[in-house]
Structure 1
């Protein structure tokens, strides 16, 4: 088989290994400059994964095009997974150099299972998903890989056009692709683009300002992913029959991925997509199953009180060492707020708790026992011994000290503020009497990326500031109160846990009085200092005055 020769020039400056990992802020990958196609020497391996059911004639064209790629054949492996075709698929004569054909088992079929079968044996540094009805252009793989050589946390999406024409032969495809003339195989004017991706690219400067929505371009007919990142995020979700690539893209984002649109990575899609053929029914199906796992689909999570498999916010409270009353006040305040799409994680030595069976009120660790008993049947609360470094796949995590209570609107507004401005960390100053007591709202994806690019010994918050930004706010201004001052949530007439109007009024008045007291205290301190200075100055003046003695008068 003839393999096109890849240029063997030395790496350009863009490809010279950097001492530090590049730091992409949000999704603005403008900091990366890929080399010109054909002007660099690659070294990374790529596993091209093709999950396919039926359509042998289209698969033959896909493999013929892959046999004519500009990317070096010794750095490419192709893994085809037959997802239960009858009669089974076969490898044709015209195929890439390194290729394997696998088959799924009858009890584990579906697109996700098929791709996961390939993923389990893939050896590449990058996994490139392709469908079995694609004809990639001559430099399609190279266009993907030039980005992956620059950073190890990228997802790259190519551009696809959909055609419905009489199919050429595998030999014709191979010859055209090898000659760099794949655009001549089909009528461009009669083809259709992946319209919503083109529209998204136009609205977001090629995803550079897409923020948390960039994950949506991960589509497994023409995307590539760093293999380490992919394995960290986990394989495709086999419980999803459709929308599994969107869900995986979302999880990749929570593990620090940046998403790149590459117009030079071009492919023909042989036939219209399922969304083009049956969009209404596909969307109807996806609206039920996908938002349960993709917390950023806020436009789909419109019910005011529903709970979801993957919550939007995790609130972490470390209960050990805190009183039962303080922990309860914090958790009750969280659960009574207007942001219901959340989960509370209580951290403590739960497995080692023991209860006195005769006088339980005097049990060791009685406060922890009471906390454990109070929420153990609440599905929104979980108990853990340790909390991991990441909240993934939940996109936000709030770490709140026990004894500090958010107001009804606090969490909803705080997360909305962080999301609107793209902050990776919002620190909430709660008390500054002796030391600063603060709550922390962390963006999961920003912290994941910071861990990827941080240098040894570098403060992680500083790196988060580089990749997403950090911000401080005043807790009282955002509705946080100490437990001793926070009103207890009560059921309103509608049955909702809402503070009574008189409680809200009292809290506001208390906040006003506290502020006034603090102002007066500062003024008293200023006056006291001024009085001390005046007294000192008066004493000094007395010491400097001459002693005047009255003269005696002679009579």
Structure 2
């Protein structure tokens, strides 16, 4: 298998990064190679002309070839308007957002619309880059076309007027950027440093690697960025993390590049108001990032982007079989899902006079049954990808999961990082199977596979695959499965009280048994022939109360 994989790797022309282990890439040392890719540095700015002047002065002194570097500055409605200073890179453009479309996401999207480079390098308007910062980003992008690269930022104190743009240009050009600031007092992105230490520079991270896409110093392959879509203008904060997540679902690998150095003039919003920023983001961001499982704690509510999409092709299936499958998934303990039913729905027409003779009656019945269920959607065909949903389950109609089936399956895939988990349901002349696909792994596989390579082979190479037994997971044929039953809503307080009473009952039962044993073995019969005194007489408290209450609770 490894030999075959190596042949495909050579044919595809793209290195294969497994999960996020980008250690297979070997970037050249700065100054020892000849770049060919162009880069657009996109800067969204609002106010602080003095800081923008320093940012542009540093970019004017970059080691990256001038003819491959363009800068797009977006003024997000500053009054008076921002201007381009004297010291700027050769190819620099200044544009302004429209009054009705302001905000960081809108501004960066406006810059993206004007960017022509092979790579888009996001940069804040208060950053001073080192002389080879752009080159340090770009040497990674020349190795693979599905990368997101995050540079190393330290935050420094800044006094307006010092340093001057001329001093910045000269220091950056001579590779002496450190002399401009008090480096001893500078601070890093502490959480990124901690993440790097825990994950070997992000190489052992999987689904959560997207978090390093911070738009103050990140770069992204432009094709990949446009496929994932621009920044979400509905988010005021957390928009860079949300875009990073969508990039992951398009197959991106995330690289930490400590050699791509820059200095941020002043502290970040997170440093100043971290708790408030987290509080704000927790109300908006989890709705669109399903892998933030620690914030999706409610057992029943629905989210804008589900964790799993279930796809069931119901073409030709009976109403009863299709309903059994759909109802089984709707009853899953993993409630964070959406179901897509694939069939020629446009041909299923209800006869208003003789409904029992409707064309494709079974589809008419299914459409009627789930017309008010928000988690069920109808489609003529399944889309190529489930993005931005991270998992897609394809299940044939007529097979019914148990309540815990989907949860067990997804936990297995998530814990082990599998790109594909196939589930054997039945075997006659052919194997009938369901399958759970990881969206990002399949996207990566499509990017790197050779023309003659099966997609599953590439998935196995970049994330791994596994077969599991359907019966063990709880799948049953529709004819053998019990339909979901309506039960009383579980009251957490009542559940805790039941557990407490059961424990108390067990403790009192042990006391009773011990007392009975002691009475039978340790007391002699009285000399007058009377029966021995009972250890627990009629007036003694016995564990009848808890047992009686337990019977009522059951």
Bin for the TM-score computed over the shorter chain: 0.7 to 0.9
- Give the equivalent residue in structure 2 for 1:492: 487
| 1:462-473 equivalent positions in 2, closer than 5 A | 462-473=457-468
> What value does the CA root-mean-square deviation take over the aligned residues?
1.1
Secondary structure, aligned partner of 1:211: coil
| 1:349-364 equivalent positions in 2, closer than 5 A | 349-364=344-359
CA distance in 1, matches of 2:90, 2:488: 72
Tell me by how many angstroms 1:457 deviates. 2.4
Secondary structure, aligned partner of 1:256: coil
Tell me by how many angstroms 1:344 deviates. 0.4
CA distance in 1, matches of 2:111, 2:346: 40
Query: 1:479 aligned to 2:467?
Result: no
CA distance in 2, matches of 1:355, 1:174: 73
CA distance in 2, matches of 1:454, 1:149: 18
Query: 1:113 aligned to 2:106?
Result: yes
Query: 1:189 aligned to 2:189?
Result: no
Deviating runs (4+, > 6 A) in structure 1?
none
Tell me by how many angstroms 1:494 deviates. 2.4
Query: 1:339 aligned to 2:334?
Result: yes
Secondary structure, aligned partner of 2:423: strand
Query: 1:20 aligned to 2:13?
Result: yes
Secondary structure, aligned partner of 2:459: helix
- Give the equivalent residue in structure 1 for 2:210: 215
| 1:28-39 equivalent positions in 2, closer than 5 A | 28-39=21-32
- Give the equivalent residue in structure 2 for 1:384: 379
Does structure 1 retain, via aligned residues, the 8 Å contact 2:12–2:448?
A: no
- Give the equivalent residue in structure 2 for 1:128: 121
- Give the equivalent residue in structure 2 for 1:281: 276
Tell me by how many angstroms 1:64 deviates. 0.2
CA distance in 2, matches of 1:22, 1:326: 44
Query: 1:325 aligned to 2:336?
Result: no
Query: 1:448 aligned to 2:443?
Result: yes
Secondary structure, aligned partner of 2:467: strand
Tell me by how many angstroms 1:185 deviates. 1.1
Secondary structure, aligned partner of 2:80: coil
Secondary structure, aligned partner of 1:30: helix
CA distance in 2, matches of 1:337, 1:104: 46
CA distance in 1, matches of 2:343, 2:123: 46
CA distance in 2, matches of 1:121, 1:434: 56
Tell me by how many angstroms 1:142 deviates. 0.2
CA distance in 2, matches of 1:269, 1:129: 13
CA distance in 2, matches of 1:353, 1:386: 15
Tell me by how many angstroms 1:495 deviates. 7.3
CA distance in 1, matches of 2:411, 2:455: 23
Does structure 1 retain, via aligned residues, the 8 Å contact 2:328–2:402?
A: yes
Tell me by how many angstroms 1:212 deviates. 0.5
Does structure 1 retain, via aligned residues, the 8 Å contact 2:12–2:450?
A: no
Tell me by how many angstroms 1:137 deviates. 0.3
TM-score (norm 2): 0.86
CA distance in 2, matches of 1:361, 1:420: 48
Tell me by how many angstroms 1:478 deviates. 0.5
| 1:284-433 equivalent positions in 2, closer than 5 A | 284-433=279-428
Q: Deviations over 1:336-361 (max 9, x none)?
A: 01001000001111122211222212
Q: How many residues are treated as equivalent by the alignment? A: 480
- Give the equivalent residue in structure 1 for 2:496: none
Tell me by how many angstroms 1:18 deviates. 8.5
Does structure 1 retain, via aligned residues, the 8 Å contact 2:420–2:464?
A: yes
CA distance in 2, matches of 1:342, 1:284: 25
- Give the equivalent residue in structure 2 for 1:500: none
Does structure 1 retain, via aligned residues, the 8 Å contact 2:11–2:450?
A: no
Tell me by how many angstroms 1:376 deviates. 1.1
CA distance in 2, matches of 1:73, 1:18: 33
CA distance in 2, matches of 1:178, 1:494: 68
Show structure 2 runs of 5+ residues with no match.
Answer: 1-9, 492-554
Tell me by how many angstroms 1:158 deviates. 0.2
Q: Deviations over 1:194-231 (max 9, x none)?
A: 00000000000001011111000000000000000000
CA distance in 1, matches of 2:211, 2:79: 33
CA distance in 2, matches of 1:406, 1:353: 27
CA distance in 1, matches of 2:461, 2:65: 36
- Give the equivalent residue in structure 2 for 1:545: none
CA distance in 2, matches of 1:437, 1:19: 31
- Give the equivalent residue in structure 1 for 2:57: 64
1:151 aligned residue (144, 161, 170): 144
Query: 1:44 aligned to 2:28?
Result: no
- Give the equivalent residue in structure 1 for 2:134: 141
CA distance in 1, matches of 2:369, 2:490: 20
CA distance in 2, matches of 1:458, 1:434: 25
Show structure 1 runs of 5+ residues with no match.
Answer: 1-16, 497-555
- Give the equivalent residue in structure 2 for 1:169: 164
Q: Deviations over 1:491-529 (max 9, x none)?
A: 113279xxxxxxxxxxxxxxxxxxxxxxxxxxxxxxxxx
Distance 1:495 1:190, change over 3 A: closer
Secondary structure, aligned partner of 2:207: helix
CA distance in 2, matches of 1:432, 1:19: 34
CA distance in 2, matches of 1:152, 1:423: 23
- Give the equivalent residue in structure 2 for 1:94: 87
- Give the equivalent residue in structure 2 for 1:252: 247
CA distance in 1, matches of 2:453, 2:392: 22
Q: Deviations over 1:8-40 (max 9, x none)?
A: xxxxxxxxx986211100000011000011100
Q: Deviations over 1:231-256 (max 9, x none)?
A: 00000000000000000000000000
CA distance in 1, matches of 2:34, 2:11: 16
- Give the equivalent residue in structure 1 for 2:456: 461
CA distance in 2, matches of 1:179, 1:110: 36
